[in-house]
């Protein structure tokens, strides 16, 4: 199986016969990851909270990737609920017979500003969805398929988990926990399963709109690459990390930040 991080055309169908589950995939980074894996031969389960949105996303993904709709399974569910997570994994195995790749992309950030003013209930919810739910999905994928057959996991973290922001502090702390969880899982699940994380900076999605709307050009000037990220930038890195080309990479958190952290600031 040959792999290229350069994109779909070079990689061909390098994920043919494999099955991926991408959470939070009705739009944004999750959608981009699902599209990349589909175009490279995988069958993909996508999940998000709103039934209409995830169903529409599945249809759009199949059309955009030029694959039969049977290659995309849409399962609505709240990643923060154990029963919903179990249904997603169970239906994936029922539909496709296997689960080779898990991409934990679901994330929430309802708290902005100083931690001393943060609502602790909201902080608890952030950690439950961004960290505990990710572990829950890994446990289910491990028991359903990966323990016996192997696989690869990528957790979508953030540069906010690597450096303080002062603005999205609770979110950043949850992503720091996700990065540590990634390392611990890599230790415990190897050699059967590789576990890595990606840490994007600001990517042009609805989730991150508050960080650049009305000031995109100004925000981009802080980046050595002079632009904000796109879902495709993250998706191609994720595809590489779950491919055989990354077979000796585990426990890593790879920045995909346009060089932002190289400037020494997240401002």
Output the pLDDT for position 2.
Answer: 31
CA distance 191 to 123: 34
What CATH number has the domain spanning 13-255?
3.40.50.720
Q: pLDDT tens across 30-47, in order?
A: 999 999 999 999 999 999
H runs (alpha helix) in the chain: 8-11, 28-39, 51-65, 82-96, 120-127, 133-141, 147-149, 169-189, 216-220, 231-241
> For 233-260, what is the mean pLDDT?
97
151's tokens:
């696989």
**Confidence grade of residue 68 (pLDDT, cut at 50, 70, 90):** very high
Q: Is 159 helix (H, G, I), strand (E, B) or coil?
A: helix
Structural contact between residues 97 and 71, judged by C-beta atoms closer than 8 angstroms: no
> How far is residue 13's CA from residue 20's CA, in Å, rounded to a whole number?
14
pLDDT at position 134: 98
The catalytically annotated residue of 31, 171, 212, 223 is 171
Q: What is the pLDDT of residues 140-176, one digit of tens each?
A: 999 999 999 999 999 999 999 999 988 899 999 999 9
What secondary structure does DSSP assign to 50-90, as a single string? -HHHHHHHHHHHHHHHT--GGGEEEEE--TT-HHHHHHHHH
Longest CA pairwise span in the chain (Å)? 51
CB 218 within 8 A of CB 202: no
pLDDT digits over 195-220, tens only?
Answer: 999 999 989 877 655 655 656 577 78
Spatial separation of the C-alpha atoms in residues 6 and 240, rounded to whole Å: 9
Per DSSP, the residues of 182-219 read: HHHHHHHHTTTEEEEEEEE--BSSGGGGGGTTT-HHHH
Q: b/e map of 223-256 (b: 16 or more CB within 10 Å)?
A: beeeebbebbbbbbbbbbbbbebbeeebebbbbb
Report yes or no: 75 and 94 within 8 Å, Cβ to Cβ.
no
Tokens of 217: 């050009």
For residue 115, give both structure tokens: 């931690």
Q: Are 156 and 198 in contact (CB under 8 A)?
A: yes
Say whether 171 is catalytic.
Answer: yes
What confidence category does residue 12 fall into, taking pLDDT thresholds of 50, 70 and 90? low
């Amino acid at each position: 199986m040959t792999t290229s991080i350069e994109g779909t055309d070079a990689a061909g169908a390098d994920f043919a016969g494999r099955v991926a589950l991408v959470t939070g995939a009705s739009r944004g980074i999750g959608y981009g990851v699902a599209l990349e894996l589909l175009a490279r031969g995988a069958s993909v389960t996508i999940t998000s909270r709103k039934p209409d949105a995830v169903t529409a996303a599945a249809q759009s993904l199949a059309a955009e990737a030029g694959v039969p709709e049977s290659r995309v399974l849409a399962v609505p569910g709240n990643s923060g609920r154990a029963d919903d997570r179990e249904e997603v994994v169970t239906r994936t195995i029922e539909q496709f017979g296997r689960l080779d790749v898990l991409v934990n992309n679901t994330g929430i950030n309802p708290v902005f500003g100083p931690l001393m003013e943060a609502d602790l209930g909201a902080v608890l919810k952030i950690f439950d969805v961004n960290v505990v739910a990710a572990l829950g999905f890994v446990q289910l994928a491990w028991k359903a398929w990966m323990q016996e057959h192997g696989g690869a996991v990528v957790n979508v973290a953030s540069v906010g988990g690597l450096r303080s922001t002062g603005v999205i502090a609770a979110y950043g702390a949850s992503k720091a926990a996700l990065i540590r969880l990634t390392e611990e899982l890599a230790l415990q699940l190897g050699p059967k399963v590789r576990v890595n994380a990606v840490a994007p900076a600001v990517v042009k999605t609805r989730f991150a709109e508050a960080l650049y709307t009305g000031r995109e050009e100004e925000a981009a000037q802080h980046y050595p690459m002079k632009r904000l990220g796109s879902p495709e930038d993250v998706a191609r890195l994720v595809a590489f990390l779950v491919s055989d080309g990354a077979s000796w990479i585990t426990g890593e958190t790879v920045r995909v930040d346009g060089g932002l952290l190289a400037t020494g600031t997240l401002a």
